[in-house]
Amino acid sequence: MSDISIPNDLTKIVLGHPLSGALYAYFDKELNEGRHIESSKTQSYYKTLYGKHFETYIDIALTLSLIYDTVILPAADNAFPDYEKYESNGEYYNPEFGLYFTWRDEANYRYTINEKIQRAIADLEVSALLWNIPKHVHEQIIGEVFFELSMANKFDATLYTLGRRQAIAKRIAQIENDKSTEFSEISKIKVVSSYLEITGLLFQPMDIQSFYYLKTEKDLREYSNSFLKVMEDFLADNPSEVKRELLLLIKEAISKDKLNSKISGVFEGSLTIMNYVGLIPVAGTIAGLVGIGSDLASRGVEKLNKKHKWYEFASQIEKMKSLERINAALKDIK
């Protein structure tokens, strides 16, 4: 049977730990009544798979899943949407949710690189990063990292990972002389987390049907693509001020297209930037916001100011969720 192929024109990432753990946990909650999450209290496999702080990363993981067409994951003993329908010969590709993983390639890959796994575990830098993690899960962690690197290279996709796991992945890439893997910059993930904080967008609680509705909604894909362009081009002068820089970028985008029609009319949904002016250290009023003197032309604002405004991504999500609830309510009316 031939391999499943992901269309080349789709945007894609490899989602590594702890973001992958958060997405696994979300699916376990929605499709398995959280049984594996409960098991993680006593079973080391699921404790390692989800991580201690998976709740912290669920909204970020879901946002990345909506921004990108396809998310590639390490295979895991976990619930996934319509697994029986989309699994074939050890591979799973769900085009509706944009999810891919493979058991077959991972099993073959693990078998052939066992020696490399042991060498990585013995490395002093890797060993230092694993120092307070139980030894019996070291192979699971390093195996996942090797697979994430393999998938990133196979699909020419950026590997999104954080913290200690990113440090381990970078060290293993160095050991293996892997110079092709592209790692996500921390600032890119900060753009997502800052945007969620600025807009107040929260996905939890959100059932799997709502996730499906958002993922397959054509108009939202347009907003997602626009947001992705901004995220990839975003450069903060100071990485510690990503939120402020993002607000300035939003302000500039609004000013160029909407200011003459009143700032208060920019967001058609329930979210408005006015609610968050206090987040900008130098401004406490709308007048102050409008008066910030910062030339962001060099960041390509004009080029990014498309028909589907990237800064309205959160508002569009809220609109789609509301429309879904309205449609569900109409179906219940007899």
Structure confidence by residue, pLDDT tens digits, 280-309: 333 333 333 333 333 333 344 444 444 447
Contact 149, 169 (CB under 8 A): yes
Q: What is the DSSP letter of 279?
A: G
What pLDDT does 276 receive?
38
What pLDDT does 172 receive?
93
CA distance 80 to 97: 10
CA distance 82 to 57: 23
Lowest mean pLDDT among 155-164, 221-230, 273-282: 273-282
CA distance 213 to 94: 14
124-130 long-range contacts (CB < 8 A, ≥24 apart) are: 125/171, 126/168, 126/171, 126/172, 126/175, 129/164, 129/167, 129/168, 129/171, 130/168
What pLDDT does 307 receive?
44
Q: Quick one: what percent of the chain has pLDDT higher than 90?
A: 37
Angle at 62 between CA 233 and CA 263, to 5 degrees: 55
Q: What is the DSSP letter of 185?
A: P
Q: What is the pLDDT of residues 79-137, one digit of tens each?
A: 999 999 999 888 999 999 999 998 877 656 777 888 899 999 999 999 999 999 999 99
Which two three-digit tokens encode residue 25?
């946990």
- What SS3 state is found at 31? helix
What pLDDT does 108 receive?
66
